[in-house]
Amino acid sequence: MTGRVIVVTSGKGGVGKTTASANIGLALAASGPSVALVDMDIGLRNLDILMGLENRVVYNLVDVVEEKCKLRQALVKDKRLPNLNLLPAAQTRDKTAVNADQMKKLTEELKGMFDYVLIDSPAGIESGFQNAIAGAEEAVVICTPEMSAVRDADRVIGLLEARKDEISQYRLIINRIRPHMVKSNDMMSVQDVLEILSVKLLGVVPEDDQVIVSTNKGEPLSGSSDNQKAGQAYRNIAKRLQGEEVPFLNLDAMDATWFTKVVKFFNPARV
């Protein structure tokens, strides 16, 4: 087996990397392939919480690297899907506990066991990030439609481009878009961000209160077909990663109500 190693990264913290990793991992595994989720945020372990697996963690990534246990012993099987596994980060160590060569070796081993190896990168562009991308062949860059997040995403894209030989492609997820704010011209749209970053789009995830609810429950939204907003967006992203063509939700589209028609009549530039 030779799996695909995909790193989920963003530069800026708090834009939804871990949420995206959990949701994409679950949605991928739900459609059949075997998936390993790797939490590379050493010292700030969180992916186990989002997956609801925090009580099952025994060993972690650093234990594997330091050969205190076998890789199989450290993998935590998901409660819902047996083909989904989590490799937790160490909570009491820091990012200097592993290096890029060790990560390459680890991802090589995981590639032999799983169809997809999803690496949740820490924020920043220093050693933690460098370790996270060390063994990756593809990247998913997450940003929100805010200036600081877009700037950091651009920086990360620059660093990924510098490793073109190893990382064959990178695509963007625009997270937490608020359609009503785009409509009122108070927030950058998906098109605006794409134009600024000149990068391929993998998905658009709308702002959704249910993301917080699902984190509290330890059940990623993409796992149930009930959620039609963020959950659906992540299910679509998982399909696109598998090569399926799924149309993007057009969150920017304005409904041509009587009111917007009136506005357009007075001031075409606004609509």
Give the binding site for other proteins (CB under 8 A): 147, 150-151, 154-155, 157-158, 161, 182, 185-189, 192, 195-199, 263, 266-267, 269-270
If the CB atoms of residues 185 and 225 are measured against other proteins, the closer one turns out to be 185
Q: Which is nearer to other proteins, 258 or 266 (CB)?
A: 266
CB of 269 to other proteins, least distance (A): 4
Q: Which is nearer to other proteins, 1 or 269 (CB)?
A: 269
Closer residue to other proteins (CB): 65 or 190: 190
The helix (H) or strand (E) run that includes residue 195 is helix 190-197
Measured distance CA(174)–CA(178) in Å, rounded: 11
> How many degrees, rounded to 5, is the angle at CA 77 between CA 236 and CA 202?
20
Q: What angle do CA 82, 85, 86 make, to 5 degrees?
A: 150
- When the beta carbons of 104 and 151 are compared against other proteins, the nearer one is 151
- Minimum gap (Å) between residue 5 Cβ and other proteins: 24
CB of 26 to other proteins, least distance (A): 32
**SS3 state at 118:** strand
**Are the beta carbons of 70 and 57 closer than 8 angstroms?**
no
- Do the beta carbons of residue 37 and residue 24 sit within 8 Å? no
| For other proteins, the closer CB: 140 or 188 | 188
Closest C-alpha among 240, 37, 51, 247 to residue 121: 37
From the CB of 185, what's the least distance to other proteins, in Å?
Answer: 4
A 10 A CB-CB count for 163 gives: 15
235 to each of 12, 27, 51, 240, 241, how far by Cα in Å? 24, 5, 16, 9, 10
Give least dist CB 201 to other proteins, A.
15
Distance of CA 233 to the CA centre of its chain: 12
Least distance (Å) from other proteins to the CB of residue 96?
Answer: 28
